[in-house]
Structure 1
Amino acid sequence: MRDELAQVGARLRIVRRSRGWTLDELASRAGMSASTLSRLESGKRQASLELLLPLTRQLGIRVDDLISVDASDPRIHRPVIRRDGLVIAPLAPESSPVHTYKITYPPVAVLPELRVHDGYEWIYVLAGRLRLRLGDQDLTLTRGEAAEFDTRTPHAISAAGGKPAQVISIFNDDGVRMHTHAPEPQDP
Structure 2
Amino acid sequence: MAIHGRSPKDDGGDSGSGAPNGRLGEALRQLRRQNGWTLADMSERTGLAISTLSKVENDQMSLTYDKLTNLSEGLGVDITYFFSAQPMEPPPAMAVMARRSINRTGDGEHILTRHYEHWYPSADLSHKRMVPIIAEPKARTLEEFGELLRHPGEEFAMVMEGRIALHTEFYAPVILEKGHSVYFDSTMGHAYLAADDGPCRLLSVCSGTESELKRLVSSDTPPPKPRSSSPRKKP
Q: Structure 1 length as normaliser, TM-score?
A: 0.51
The answer to which structure, 1 or 2, has the higher relative contact order (CA under 8 A, 6+ apart) is 2
Whole-Å separation in 2 of the counterparts to 1:72 and 1:146:
25
State the percentage of identical aligned residues.
18
Structure index of larger Rg: 1
* Residues 102 and 168 in structure 1, CA contact (< 8 A), matched pair in contact too: yes
Please say if 1:165 is aligned against 2:203.
no
Q: Which moved more, 1:159-168 or 1:110-119?
A: 110-119
Question: Does the Cα contact within 8 Å between 1:105 and 1:166 map onto a contact in 2?
Answer: yes
Gaps of 5+ in 2: 1-95, 221-235
SS in structure 2 of the partner of residue 84 of structure 1: coil
Q: Secondary structure at the match of 1:143?
A: coil
Tell me the secondary structure at the aligned position of residue 151 of structure 2. coil
The answer for the alignment partner of 1:154 in structure 2 is 189
Residue 115 (structure 1) shift: 2.7
Please state if 1:181 is matched with 2:193.
no
Q: Which runs of 5+ in 1 are unaligned?
A: 1-64
Aligned-partner SS, 1:183: helix
Structure having the larger proportion of residues in helix = 1
Once the two structures are TM-superposed, the CA of residue 84 in structure 1 deviates from its matched residue by 1.1
TM-score by length of 2: 0.42
SS of residue in 1 equivalent to 2:109? coil
Q: Deviations over 1:148-170 (max 9, x none)?
A: 10012222211114333100010
Q: 1:44 matched to which residue of 2? A: none
User: In structure 2, which of residues 124, 131, 134 is the aligned counterpart of residue 99 of structure 1?
Assistant: 131
For these two proteins, the number of residue pairs brought into alignment is 116
What's the secondary structure of 1:181's corresponding residue? helix
Aligned twin of 2:87: none
For the 8 Å contact 1:119–1:174, the answer to whether it is kept is no
Contact 2:130 2:209 (C-alpha < 8 Å) held by counterparts: no
Q: Which residue of 2 aligns with 1:117?
A: 151
User: Which residue, 130, 137, 140 being the options, matches 2:164?
Assistant: 130
